[in-house]
Amino acid sequence: MDPETRMLPGEVRVFDPAGLERLVEALVEAGYRVLGPTVRDGAIVLDEIASAGELPHGWTAEQDAARYRLRRRDDDAMFGWAVGPHSWKQHFLPARARLWRAAAPAGQGPPTIEEEPPPERPLALLAARPCDLHAIAIQDRVLLEGRYVERDYALRRRDAFVVVVNCGVPGGSCFCASMGTGPRAERGYDLALTEVLDGGHRFVVEVGSARGAELLAAVGTSPAREEDLAAAHAVTDEAVFRMGRSLDTAGLPELLAANLEHPRFAEVAERCLTCGNCTAVCPTCFCTSVEDVNDLADGSAERWRVWDTCFSIDYSTIHGGSVRRSSRARYRQWLTHKFGTWVDQFGTSGCVGCGRCITWCPVGIDVTEELAAIRARDGEVDRALAR
């Protein structure tokens, strides 16, 4: 018997760059729709890929507040970048999804509601980041683990195969080390890759599940040597110190609850365009609305679920009247939810430290800077209000 078929979760193996090609092939052969990073329109985005040739090899991205630039690396690294504008929620919770259709059966009779069929193939995520796994877990908590299950999300999420790639090149907006969500994945994957460049371009792979082991058997790997393990750990150990940003997370929910009238909210509101970019790129923001549309020709109707954002003025209303008319109130809702009330509502923080909201904010508002500013003048105003 081939020793590779006996691999177990927890085992560590090594393969070379060609192995990545075989990994994609194996996933396709196993029936997955393979999603992975690829370069398009000046960014590394996530889309269906047919081969490892579509991966962004030799590319990196410079990131900072309101800044994202692709740049050529001077090596052949496949994963020498952090995160792009996309996150996996685009595939589990798409920006637009039809939930059901109500049509009259051929001829007469009342319309009946037919739910959207499940996707034909389960998804395989190639090169999810450790922070992405935490983001997925947070959305699972909201949409799957409460009293009610979000059917569409559950069907897309079901059986998804996850290949995580540990981070060696954090972006300038990254602060996962502060949030405890990276740069190394601890769980929640089928396979975890670390790309090692020193001493030969190779991938050190940890098996996270039985099906991960099964798939890896088709890739062709060799056992990891002591120096492979050490090199892989060195990649993420060094990444911790190359985070572009950091955040003091101590007592954030309490800090924010006690500072709802903090002057910083009025200051940031002068810059905030309430465009909602931050909510669109945030891998955990889950707010949606529904659109009911009908076809005047045949009388059928459809329900679509669409992304919404707490930055829109009619996001929260009472009897049609907006509750948060000022941009100050809308920015406060987003920030206090993400870092504070999310914990009350779902038992976890809503932030994974991926930094996308910082990079893609058109005016460069930086959550780590905002939170630090609030902490610096903790309670000044609210204490005065409370008398």
| Beta pairing, strands 191-196 & 161-165 | parallel
Alpha carbon separation from 201 to 14, 18, 39, 194, 371 (Å, rounded)? 11, 10, 21, 11, 40
**CB 37, CB 127: distance < 8 Å:** yes
Cα distances from 19 to residues 149, 216, 317, in angstroms, run 38, 10, 53
Q: Alpha carbon of 27 to those of 15, 16, 35, 344: distances in Å?
A: 16, 17, 10, 39
Q: Does 369 bind other proteins (CB under 8 A)?
A: no
Q: Please name which of 361, 360, 336 lies closest in space to residue 350, comparing C-alpha atoms.
A: 336
Residue 1 or 318 having the CB closest to other proteins: 318
Which residue lies nearer to other proteins by CB, 17 or 253? 253
Verify binding: residue 148, other proteins, rule CB under 8 A: yes
Binding mask 235-264 for other proteins (x = CB under 8 A): ----------------------x--xx---
Q: Give the whole-angstrom CA distance, residue 341 versus residue 334.
A: 10
75, 115, 237, 238: which one binds other proteins (CB under 8 A): 115
Residue 145 CB contacts under 8 Å (≥ 6 apart), including other chains: none
Query: Which one, 125 or 142, has the nearer CB to other proteins?
Result: 142
CA distance 72 to 61: 8
Shorter beta-carbon distance to other proteins: residue 299 or 362? 299
As given in the structure block, the two tokens for residue 137 are: 């877990």
For other proteins, the binding residue among 44, 143, 191, 231 (CB under 8 A) is: 143
Shortest CA distance to 196 belongs to which of 4, 13, 7, 3?
Answer: 13
- Residue of 95, 112, 121, 347 interacting with other proteins (CB under 8 A): 112
**Near other proteins by CB under 8 A, which window of 1-9, 17-25, 112-120, 193-201?**
112-120
Q: Is 147 in the site for other proteins (CB under 8 A)?
A: yes
Nearer to other proteins, 50 or 113 (CB): 113
Spatial distance between the Cα atoms of 338 and 272, rounded to a whole number of angstroms: 16
Strand, coil or helix: what is 285? coil
User: Quick check: 102 binds other proteins (CB under 8 A)?
Assistant: yes
Which one, 6 or 96, has the nearer CB to other proteins? 96
Nearest distance, CB of residue 93 and other proteins, angstroms = 10
User: In the bound complex, what is the minimum distance in angstroms from residue 264's beta carbon to other proteins?
Assistant: 16
Using CB under 8 A as the binding criterion, the count of chain residues that bind other proteins stands at: 51
- Paired residues of 288 in beta bridges: 307
The reply to whether 111 sits near other proteins by the rule CB under 8 A is yes
The set of residues, in sequence order, having a beta carbon less than 8 Å from that of 106 and lying 6+ positions away, is: none
- Of residues 266 through 325, those in contact with other proteins by CB under 8 A are 286-290, 292-294, 299, 301, 303, 308, 310, 315-321, 323-325
CB of 345 to other proteins, least distance (A): 6
What is the residue-wise DSSP string for 110-130? --EEEEPPPPSS-EEEEEE-H
Q: Looking at 215-371, which runs of residues are DSSP E strands?
A: 222-223, 288-294, 301-307, 317-318, 321-322
Binding mask 329-358 for other proteins (x = CB under 8 A): x--xx--xx--xx--xx-------------
Q: Output the smallest distance, CB 99 to other proteins, in A.
A: 8
Given 328, 338, 356, 375, the residue binding other proteins (CB under 8 A): 328
Rounded distance, CA 127 to CA 234, Å?
A: 19
- Six-digit token string for 255: 């800090």
Q: In angstroms, give the least distance from the CB of 370 to other proteins.
A: 18
Closer CB to other proteins, 100 or 234, in the complex = 100
Which of 41-45's residues contact partners 24+ apart within 8 Å by CB, and which partners?
42/70, 43/68, 43/70, 43/84, 43/85, 44/70, 44/81, 44/84, 45/84, 45/85, 45/86
Choose one: 52-60, 110-118, 222-230, 233-241; the region binding other proteins (CB under 8 A).
110-118
Rank residues 249 and 333 by Cβ distance to other proteins and give the closer one. Answer: 333
Positions that interact with other proteins (CB under 8 A)? 100, 102, 110-113, 115, 142-143, 146-148, 150-151, 257, 260-261, 286-290, 292-294, 299, 301, 303, 308, 310, 315-321, 323-326, 328-329, 332-333, 336-337, 340-341, 344-345
